[in-house]
Amino acid sequence: MTTLSPENSLSARQSASFILVKRKPPIDKTEWDSFFDENGHLAKSRDFICVNILERGLHPFVRTEAWKFLTGYFSWQSSQDERLTVDSMRRKNYKALCQMYEKIQPLLENLHRNFIETRNNIARDIQKLYDKDPLGNVLIDKKRLEKILLLSYVCNTQAEYQQGFHEMMMLFQLMVEHDHETFWLFQFFLQKTEHSCVINIGVAKNLDMLSTLITFLDPVFAEHLKGKGAGAVQSLFPWFCFCFQRAFKSFDDVWRLWEVLLTGKPCRNFQVLVAYSMLQMVREQVLQESMGGDDILLACNNLIDLDADELISAACVVYAELIQKDVPQTLKDFFL
């Protein structure tokens, strides 16, 4: 067992402090522009900006540009001219990848059975998307979305296509104007979050650490989950695969959580603390009704229309609690 330093404990209390006071307004365009000098270099530190994003969030008018820094689309050290060059390069590279795909598509169809199956899965998933707002206005272009998903699948050898990627990609198409931006932001997002949302890379580890965290912080609940509720935690993999997006009441809430995950604040693998906080929402019901695994899963699936700020605040409080305890080395290594 390892006791964390007083400095880290103070940092954790500061990270959770915004639950105790009214949250300041999100970073708007005027404030965001003030973070840069006349050449477009950041005049504020990356850490300063990320802490403010954690505590306050981003105004919709700022989100697209800020996410290009958070994902790695742009370097934090770049100038305005350098960013224009990078964007032009990414546009050209995307066009080249599209041309490559058109050339090799017949080969993929003939030699790779998985390609045909995945292409059909993507087409089915895309058709399931509800593409209109309450007024009937079309939100997304399904054909463009399908093309970008197929290209992403062909180009990404590690993060194979999985159900849920179509919904995630849709949110990137809604955020930006051009297809090359949608494609590259999604690729960088997957790289940043692969250890949380990609099944064949990190989801199992997240579920194991969630169980470890429950055992450490809430042994009574853990005992029930290991007994009558056996298998419930391992069945929560959709939370991570969909990056929690189905739990929220609006796209803005999804973007709000995702941008916090991209900051790396207040700690690494914050998504597991988010999942723990969601489980705590059903804890009393589970214990009072002595629920079994299937009923626990149903209760968790009924966690919808959540408020992102409230959930982030709750997870920060869990972090503040965790970091002040005599933490097992496995948890320390995972979160810190």
User: Taking a C-beta distance cutoff of 8 angstroms, is the pair 152, 144 a contact?
Assistant: no
- DSSP string of 256-319? HHHHHHHHT-SSTTHHHHHHHHHHHHHHHHHHHTT--HHHHHHHHHT--SB-HHHHHHHHHHHH
Task: Report pLDDT digits (tens) over 108-155.
Answer: 988 888 899 999 999 999 999 887 777 788 888 999 999 999 999 999
Q: How high is the pLDDT of residue 20?
A: 41
Is residue 135 within 8 A of residue 100, CB to CB? The reply is no
Parallel, antiparallel or unpaired: strands 326-327 and 2-3:
antiparallel
What pLDDT was estimated at residue 1?
A: 44
- The CA distance from 151 to 98, in Å, is 7
pLDDT of residue 326: 92
The token pair at 120 is 């059909």
Q: Identify the top-confidence range among 9-23, 50-64, 99-113, 122-136.
A: 50-64
The residue ranges of every structural domain in the chain are: 79-192, 196-335
Q: 98 is written with which tokens?
A: 């599209």
User: What pLDDT was estimated at residue 43?
Assistant: 97
196-335 domain in CATH 1.10.472.80? yes
Instruction: Please report, rounded to a whole number, the percentage of residues in the chain having pLDDT higher than 90.
Output: 77
- Give this prediction's pTM: 0.91
Q: Could you report the per-residue pLDDT of 265-298, keeping only the tens digit for each?
A: 999 999 999 999 999 999 999 999 999 999 999 9
The C-alpha atoms of residue 262 and residue 65 are separated, in whole angstroms, by: 14
> Which range scores top for mean pLDDT: 126-140, 154-168, 226-240?
226-240
